[in-house]
Every structure is written in structure tokens, then in C-alpha cells.
Amino acid sequence: MTDAPPVRRRVLGAALRRFREQAGCTLDDAARILDCDRSKISRIENGQRGIRATELEDLLAEYGVDEPRRGALLTVARQPRQGGWWQSHSHVRDDTHHGFIGLGGADTTICAYEAHLLPGLLQTGGYARAIAAASLVNEGHGEHEQFVQARLAQQHVLTRAHHPLQFWAVLSEGALRQMVGGRDVMRAQLRHLIDISDRQRNVSLQVLPFSAGAHAATSGPFVIIKFPDAPDLAVVYLEGQTGGIYLHGGDEVARYTRAFEHLRATALSTGATMRLIEEIAADT
């Protein structure tokens, strides 16, 4: 899936198609608005090409889209072109994730469930190096370090002074006990989780203990990206071995949102989570 369109274009295109249909406009109508051929509109809506901010504004105005949704989509469209913060474990240059950072701008909330590994946004350098060494088996030291530095740089979305990303993660207890990188690396990683939860009010962590048994996410990890001012623009990301899948259908997003709420209700409270992490760190 390395040739898949960036998720940013997919989100924009899917939203434009939905708004066009709701407004009762055809592809030809949209083409007349931008003074272009209908194939360009089709490629935009399919995520196969980008759209300039001015073109986006023109279409949204003609479709009668309200201000919160216009603002959310324009924020995504105007993000700089750079790699995503949620990198694939398969390759540091996986184009599937290019543009994903555009969904991590101001007024964005990320909800994530992880079963085996800790989210990239919360990883230390040592932990990320162990992941790179284990997963980038066909790459050399230089590519491993590129992976690590990219991952650490992406974490600024949590600590930036203005509009830090709102991040809520539910972690399986197994992710805390998986001995990634050895005892010293894992102990430092667990201490980092405690530190960032204490320092960053925009970061909330809960642990799903082994004792919870069967739960709402037995199918595997997932990430939900939400815009509080425009909830119907939310997208779900599912990571695979060689790339990711993005879901933006309303029913699909609603299903994963319900699953995450069930996970939060089943998991330990944030306070109990910190106590458990302290215990595991002390025993590591």
C-alpha cells in the first residue's frame, strides 16, 4: 500500500464527495465551480490528487458547508507536507502515512488502543531503536536511526506550547510488560509514561489489565482522529504489516468510537494506571 494516497487527501476527498451529494450537486456542477473538467473533481474526491485551499473554500461555500466543518477541513488542507506522526513499523519512508500529520493540528483529538506495543507518540529513543532493530530487518543502522529521529520529532505535537494534540490512549497490560529493548530500556520507557502523564494535561493514559478478560477491541489496535467542532469528519486508522487502512464512513467510525468508550469503561482509572505502571517499573 506504499502507493496509496495520503490520508489527508482521503479525508478531504471523502468529505467533499459527501457534501457535494448532500447539496444535490453533480460532478459537472462541481467542475463548473472550479472551471475545470469533471475528471479533476473525481480525482480529488478519490484522494488521487490534492486541492488548493482556495479551491476548497470555493467548493465548501457552494455546498453550503457550515463554518466549523469548513474550518476543520481548511486546517487539514493547509498543513505542511511532511511525514505522519503515526509511522508504520514496516518502513520509515512508507508513503501511506505522508500527510497524516495534517490530522494532528489544532483542535484535534487522538484516541488510540494498543495491544502489544506503546504508541509512537509515547516512545523513548531506546524503545524506538529496539522497535526499529526488530522490525526494519532489511535496513541498516542509518535507516534505523532515521526511524528513531522521525518518531521523536513527531512527538512535538504533544508538547508544543500552542494547541497541543489531545491524546487519550488505552494500553493493554501486555504492552507494558513486553520486554522491548531489555530491562534498562523498558524501565526508562515506563518512567517516561509516568512523567509525560504528569507533565502534559493533554495526555491521558489508561491500562486494560489482564483481569479484564474479553473486551471490545479483541480484533486489534486502532486509532481514531476526531475534530471536536466537526465530529462527522472523524477517521479511523488500522495498521497492518505493510501499511495502513483508513476508514471514514460514519457507521465505521461510530463503531470504533463505541469500542473505545467500552475500553475506557473497562480499563483502570488514570490514577490506578499510574500506580500499576509504577509497580511494573519497580519490578523490571
**Tens digits of residue pLDDT in 86-101:** 334 334 433 333 334 4
The answer to whether 53 and 78 have CB atoms below 8 angstroms apart is yes
- What DSSP letter does each residue of 99-119 carry, written as one string? TGGGGSSTT-EEEEEESSS--
278 closest CA partner among 190, 146, 156, 158: 190
Q: Under DSSP, is residue 126 helix (H, G, I), strand (E, B) or coil?
A: helix
pLDDT at 233: 78
Phi-psi label, residue 94: left if phi above 0, alpha if psi -120 to 50, beta otherwise: beta
Mean pLDDT of the chain: 85
Percent of the chain with pLDDT over 70: 85
The answer to whether 236 and 222 have CB atoms below 8 angstroms apart is yes
End-to-end CA distance of the chain: 38
pLDDT at 3: 39
pLDDT at 82: 43
pLDDT at 106: 52
The class (CATH top level) of 7-77 is: mainly alpha
Q: Counting Cβ atoms within 10 Å, is residue 124 exposed (0-12), middle (13-18) or buried (19+)?
A: buried
Q: Which residues of 222-236 are buried (b: 16+ CB within 10 A; e: fewer)?
A: bbbbbbeebeebbbb
What residues contact residue 233 under an 8 Å CB cut-off, 6+ apart? 11, 15, 69, 72, 73, 227, 248
> Distance (Å, rounded) from C-alpha 21 to C-alpha 9?
18
Bridging pattern class, strands 203-208 and 235-239: unpaired
Phi, psi of 93 (to 5 degrees): -110, 25
Q: CATH code for 95-283?
A: 3.30.870
Q: Any idea which residue has 472551471 for its cell?
A: 35
> Distance (Å, rounded) from C-alpha 44 to C-alpha 9?
8
Tens-digit pLDDT string for the chain (284 aa): 333 456 678 778 888 998 999 999 999 999 999 999 999 999 999 888 989 989 999 999 999 998 888 887 887 777 654 444 333 433 443 333 333 444 555 568 899 999 999 999 999 999 999 999 998 888 888 989 988 988 898 888 899 888 888 999 999 999 999 999 999 999 999 999 999 999 999 999 999 999 999 999 998 999 998 877 677 778 888 877 666 777 877 889 999 999 999 999 999 999 999 999 999 999 98
- Domain boundaries defined on the chain: 7-77, 95-283
